[in-house]
Amino acid sequence: DVKVTQSSRYLVKRTGEKVFLECVQDMDHENMFWYRQDPGLGLRLIYFSYDVKMKEKGDIPEGYSVSREKKERFSLILESASTNQTSMYLCASRPSTENTEAFFGQGTRLTVV
């Protein structure tokens, strides 16, 4: 089975802290994604990576950066956490084949206080 693992299910951080959310996939997928999920807004794409060291901004990249040094690992970085970044964060991976679905991690509920 494809496995996408996020390093934490729950995180509580203070305003201004630098926060790292880690995601690892075990299926050698080229594409990896970070989404933010908020009630009534669905899933919004923060960043997308299509290869090692390659990244593309999604719809809401402000306040976030990413790192992909190895194919299996995609990290989301909140440079200076703010309360409006309190949310559910979902990592996903997907092969570069149009008809395949994305596989998701279990999500990280981040609370910034």
Partner 1 sequence: AQTVTQSQPEMSVQEAETVTLSCTYDTSESNYYLFWYKQPPSRQMILVIRQEAYKQQNATENRFSVNFQKAAKSFSLKISDSQLGDTAMYFCARPYNTDKLIFGTGTRLQVFP
Interacting residues toward partner 1 by CB under 8 A = 30-31, 33, 35, 40-43, 45, 48, 50, 58, 88, 90, 92, 94, 96, 98-99, 101-102, 104-107
Measure the CA angle with vertex 97, ends 95 and 101; round to 5°: 65
- Residue among 40 and 84 whose Cβ is closer to partner 1: 40
| Least gap, CB of 25 to partner 1 (angstroms) | 14
- Residue among 14 and 42 whose Cβ is closer to partner 1: 42
| Least gap, CB of 113 to partner 1 (angstroms) | 21
CA distance 111 to 10: 8
Closest to 34 (Cα-Cα) out of 4, 12, 14, 13:
4
Q: Which two tokens stand for residue 21?
A: 């959310």
CA distance 102 to 69: 21
- Residue among 83 and 99 whose Cβ is closer to partner 1: 99
